[in-house]
Amino acid sequence: MGASAETLIREHLIGCLPPGSMPSFRRIISAAFDGTGRKRKAIGRLEMFDGQPATVEVFQWGPNAWGHRWADMPGGACSLEPSGWVRCDDEGNILSAQLTLPLSPDPVNPHAKEA
């Protein structure tokens, strides 16, 4: 039995970031698998860094290759900047920003203790 849809989404979205980066999401609201065989994907509803909702699809496209796409991200695109995550409108104006650095060694589980 493989990983749960929630675990797959969390590990993929964090794993594709530079080491030590905060994830773009606060929490995974719900997650489930959809499809079968090569068309199987994990779909997650997330609460993003600024409280906005988003829907992501994580899929395998090769033997050891995973990808994701944002199926729904109301409020504008997000990008990881040196100061943290920002959300911009179509003209590039910053709408919201996460400008704090994590105090925890595990940004998804702030109560984790260092080893």
Cα–Cα distance between 114 and 75 in angstroms, integer?
35
Of the pLDDT bands very low, low, confident and very high (cuts 50, 70, 90), residue 46 is: very high
- 28: tokens are 């995974």
At 2-41, the pLDDT tens digits run: 689 999 999 999 999 998 889 999 999 999 999 988 889 9
pTM of this structure = 0.78
Cα distances (angstroms) measured from residue 103 to each of 5, 49, 109, 110: 27, 15, 11, 8
